């Protein structure tokens, strides 16, 4: 699972490659800079910028999972620790300027945009009386962040900070869209008809889903032509494509094979998280009980957004903004 995939983290600016002719590389179907990767990168960047512009124009974060945006921020900041090395290579190896410009532009943009999006979640929540739909953003990201950090530390190829962080980002990206899909599945559960479906959010999800499909083809192509083996990328990519396909049929045709399973698993994971929190911090029993009550209430017919205007954040039983993790 990689954004701007690197075969290994030693790519950190010191793998002097074969990009002497940037124009030729755009039509080169061999190596790691094939067209599948290029098209995937452009879709990912375009979708990310579109989401940012959409939030700014709507002045609202309705329909968007904060937890997915947070996980993307973790992915980018742990994967792109090599950004200073890219800048160093750009300055000291003119023959690699085109390649480094590409990497620096994409990596820097991803990191900056994600920070801005997270800021806008807090900004618009305070400014517009709350447009973040906490009651739908229920995925417990601690069950991804903590276990996979331990796994990355144990199974990284080299025991260095950059290698462990790069491996960690690979594992995390397999689950980065899961909170958004849980969010979308709960739309239908809490709202009559087709739920609260925002076209701009759908366009962003389409960009991300198609980008993952193109990157899957990128990995397959490299395996066929470069003896490149990345089983974790293929497995994680398959999971993402499966979830994306199910969401697509759910959004367009109201047919889903995974929605019931995903929501059931999400509820059970949250129950397990509550049990762990109570065991570790008994004094937090009142807060845990409040979270459980909110989860029960969100399934009630009246617990939904009121109105159809994107600028109307009024909700029946709208939860507070303190339950983001």
> Residue 90's pLDDT is what?
82
| 69-81 per-position pLDDT tens digit | 999 999 999 999 9
Q: 75, 3 in Cβ contact below 8 A?
A: yes
> Residue 279's pLDDT is what?
86
Estimate the share of the chain in helix, then strand, then coil, as percent rounded to the nearest 5.
70, 0, 30
Q: 67, 140 in Cβ contact below 8 A?
A: no
Q: 206, 37 in Cβ contact below 8 A?
A: no
Q: Where are the domains of the chain?
A: 9-297
DSSP assignment of 48-59 equals HHHHHHHHHHHT
| 88-126 per-position pLDDT tens digit | 888 888 878 888 888 899 999 999 999 999 999 988 876
Q: 313, 127 in Cβ contact below 8 A?
A: no
Tokens encoding 58 = 């709507």
Q: 116, 68 in Cβ contact below 8 A?
A: no
CA 19, 20, 26, 27: dihedral to nearest 10 degrees? -110
> Residue 190's pLDDT is what?
53
Is 33 strand, coil or helix?
A: coil
Other Cβ atoms closer than 10 A to 16: 11
> Residue 30's pLDDT is what?
53
CA 174, 210, 215, 230: dihedral to nearest 10 degrees? 30
> Residue 102's pLDDT is what?
87
> Residue 305's pLDDT is what?
44
For 68-193, strand residue ranges (E) read none
Tokens encoding 225 = 């032509």
CA geometry: angle at 228 spanning 224 and 231, to 5°? 100
Residues in the chain with pLDDT values less than 50: 1-3, 5-27, 192-193, 195, 302, 304-322, 324
| 175-203 per-position pLDDT tens digit | 999 999 999 998 765 554 454 568 899 99
> Residue 65's pLDDT is what?
95
> Residue 31's pLDDT is what?
61
Crossing angle (nearest 10°) for helices 142-155 and 259-280: 80
Residue 189, C-beta contacts closer than 8 angstroms, at least 6 positions apart? 263, 299
Diameter over CA atoms, the chain? 63
Is 293 strand, coil or helix?
A: helix
State the number of CA atoms in the 13 A half-sphere of 225 facing the CB: 13
> Residue 251's pLDDT is what?
87
Q: Which sign does the torsion angle of CA 277, 279, 282, 288 carry?
A: positive
């Amino acid at each position: 699972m990689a954004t701007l995939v690197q075969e290994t983290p030693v790519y950190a600016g010191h793998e002097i490659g074969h990009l002497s002719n940037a124009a030729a590389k755009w039509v080169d179907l061999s190596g790691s800079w094939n067209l599948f990767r290029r098209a995937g990168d452009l879709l990912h960047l375009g979708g990310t910028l579109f989401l940012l512009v959409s939030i700014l124009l709507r002045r609202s974060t309705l329909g968007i999972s904060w937890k997915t945006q947070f996980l993307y921020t973790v992915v980018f900041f742990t994967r792109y620790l090599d950004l200073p090395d890219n800048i160093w290579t750009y300055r000291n190896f003119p023959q690699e300027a085109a390649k480094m410009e590409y990497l620096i532009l994409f990596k820097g943009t991803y990191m900056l945009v994600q920070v801005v999006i997270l800021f806008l979640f807090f900004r618009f929540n305070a400014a517009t009386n709350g447009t973040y739909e906490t009651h739908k953003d229920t995925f417990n990201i601690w069950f991804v962040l903590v276990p996979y950090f331990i796994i990355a530390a144990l199974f990284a190829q080299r025991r260095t900070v950059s290698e462990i962080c790069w491996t960690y980002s690979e594992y995390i990206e397999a689950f980065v869209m899961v909170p958004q899909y849980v969010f979308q599945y709960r739309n239908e559960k809490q709202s009559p008809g087709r739920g609260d479906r925002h076209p701009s959010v759908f366009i962003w999800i389409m960009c991300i889903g198609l980008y993952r499909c193109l990157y899957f083809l990128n990995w397959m192509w490299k395996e066929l032509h470069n003896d490149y083996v990345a089983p974790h990328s293929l497995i994680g990519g398959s999971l993402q494509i499966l979830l994306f396909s199910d969401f697509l049929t759910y959004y367009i045709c109201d047919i889903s094979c995974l929605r019931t399973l995903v929501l059931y698993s999400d509820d059970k994971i949250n129950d397990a998280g509550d049990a762990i929190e109570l065991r570790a911090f008994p004094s937090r029993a009142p807060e845990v009980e409040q979270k459980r009550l909110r989860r029960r209430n969100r399934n009630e017919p009246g617990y939904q957004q009121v109105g159809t205007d994107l600028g109307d954040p009024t909700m029946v039983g709208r939860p507070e903004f303190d339950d983001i993790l």
